[in-house]
């Protein structure tokens, strides 16, 4: 019963998020080809998650203007838009576990980051909806993530 109530709360929270969020999730060309700004954020998995989650994203040619690295930042917010956490690197040349804040990526393709489901103080976050904000070279996309207890 408690789990059902938790799921209902999450679904209701998702239904009342501002419509502006949906507008920020764009980024695909009309033809469905390469992303408009050279990157695409894929849905985290598992989603919903209970303890931790992985977040895949793709960098395409346009993310590397004039051969320069793509500068990537990621932040996780609650539905009140308060900063909760910053995902960390997985398989990045500088190493794993580095916060993804103004981090340079030099290769195209699929990349992945990790969130341990904890806030900046190290405490497990509450069940609910979280917003992942991904910025690449100044362009931003937002994806919803769902945490269950």
**Could you read off the pLDDT of 10-22 as tens digits, one per residue?**
554 554 444 344 4
- In this predicted structure, the answer to whether residue 54 has a pLDDT above a threshold of 70 is yes
Give the domain ranges of the chain.
2-147
pTM of the model: 0.79
- pLDDT for 146 equals 98
Instruction: Determine the longest span between alpha carbons in the chain, in angstroms.
Output: 56
pLDDT grade, residue 37 (50/70/90)? confident
Give which of 45, 62, 70, 63 is closest to 145, Cα–Cα.
45
Note the pLDDT tens digit of each residue in 81-112: 999 999 999 999 999 999 999 999 999 999 99
Answer yes or no: CATH 1.10.8.80 is held by domain 2-147. Answer: no
- Is it the case that residue 28 has pLDDT exceeding 80? no
Distance of CA 7 to the CA centre of its chain: 21
pLDDT value at residue 20 = 40
What one-character-per-residue DSSP string does 39-76 give? Answer: EEEPPPBSSSBSS-EEEEEEE-GGGSGGGPPEEEEEEE
Interval 109-136: pLDDT, tens: 999 999 999 999 999 999 999 999 999 9
Helix (H, G, I), strand (E, B) or coil at 9: helix
Estimate to the nearest angstrom the gap between the alpha carbon of 63 and the chain centroid. 17
Q: How sure is the predictor about 149, in pLDDT bands with cuts at 50, 70 and 90? A: confident
Query: Which tokens is 101 given?
Result: 């804040």
């Amino acid at each position: 019963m408690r789990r059902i109530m938790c799921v209902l709360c999450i679904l209701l929270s998702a239904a009342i998020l501002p419509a502006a969020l949906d507008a920020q999730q764009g980024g695909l060309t009309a033809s469905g080809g390469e992303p408009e700004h050279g990157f695409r954020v894929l849905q985290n998995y598992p989603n919903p998650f209970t303890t931790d989650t992985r977040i895949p994203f793709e960098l395409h040619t346009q993310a590397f203007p004039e051969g320069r690295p793509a500068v990537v930042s990621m932040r996780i917010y609650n539905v009140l838009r308060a900063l909760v956490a910053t995902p960390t690197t997985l398989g990045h040349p500088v190493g794993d576990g580095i916060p993804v804040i103004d981090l340079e990526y030099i290769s195209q393709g699929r990349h992945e980051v990790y969130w341990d489901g904890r806030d900046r103080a190290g405490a497990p976050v509450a069940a609910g909806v979280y917003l992942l904000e991904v910025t690449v070279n100044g362009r931003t996309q937002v994806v919803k993530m769902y945490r269950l207890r």
